[in-house]
Amino acid sequence: MPELPEVETVRQGLAKWVTGRRIAAVEVRHPRAIRRHLPGADHFAAVLAGHRVVDVCRRGKYLWLPLDSGDAIIGHLGMSGQLLFQPGDAPDEVHLRIRFRFDDDGPELRFVDQRTFGGLSVSPGGAELPAEIAHIARDPMDPLFSDVDFVTNLRRKHTEVKRALLDQTLISGVGNIYADEALWRSKLHGARATDAITKPAAARLLGHIREVLSEALVAGGTSFDALYVNVNGESGYFDRSLNVYGREGEPCNRCGAPIRREAFMNRSSYSCPKCQPRPRSPVRAS
């Protein structure tokens, strides 16, 4: 699942290529791609045609494109969604789901999604912040993100720290990969109880989250396969800098112990058994 660096990389590319352009026509080629737009494909196309894209914004892992109508296009990439700019005469991708043409006859925007877990919809009056994503917390790269509130709210929770980092109402944009990487840098096991973490340790963890996200953003995100690419179809290369994620059995870059993999919420967690010892007492539900 694309996380903050991947989605922000796409946002930056979209902002460069689509801001200020007027939508001439929209073609919906697969209904699942607009399944969250309840009025349907014809309405989706009609309500967008003739309107100009004012900006490209992001909240956590969601994108939204404010329009001059006051509405907004909301997008989520899901597992395999891609937003690509292509010449109008370029062959259609096998998994092309939505096509946007613009009135300047420049490159068209294509939403390509192999697994069709992602999708687009229109938020009426959502140009400033769509109501559909208003519940999502700010991310740590946002200038208005409150470090004090994060530390306080993290320590108030009674859960495991990794579960807390994946809670998009506490902090957005952090997923499985970057949570593992930040916890490794912080020398914290993901099962550590949040209410047992000191204020300085929580602040250090937040600092490491920002470091990991910033470094991944510079690298264009993490690509393990061809499904995540930027708007030009290029893969990110932060996977070359991962310290634990996906490195089961390989030596820890800090102490040399073999990296372990543990089951976690139908996924996997990676950590160092020496640098990140398991907590002695598991978190119990309150």
Q: Which of 2, 66, 107, 130 is catalytic?
A: 2
Q: Point out the catalytic residue in the list 3, 108, 160, 181.
A: 3
**Candidates 128, 248, 267, 277; catalytic one:** 267
Is-catalytic flag, 162?
Answer: no
Q: Note if 187 is an active site residue.
A: no
Annotate 161-180 with DSSP letters as a single string: HHHHHT-TTTS-S--HHHHH
| Spatial separation of the C-alpha atoms in residues 32 and 231, rounded to whole Å | 21
Q: Is 29 annotated as a binding residue?
A: no
Active-site annotation holder among 11, 58, 59, 61? 61
Is 95 a known ligand-binding residue?
yes
Residue 276, number of CB atoms within 10 A of its CB: 26
Q: Which two tokens stand for residue 23?
A: 């939508």
Using the structure block, give the residue that is written with the tokens 């989520």: 76
Q: Is 61 noted as a catalytic residue in this protein?
A: yes
Q: Do the beta carbons of residue 83 and residue 111 sit within 8 Å?
A: yes
Active-site residue flag, 3: yes
Residues labelled catalytic: 2-3, 61, 267
Binding residues: 95, 115, 157
Binding residues for DNA: 95, 115, 157
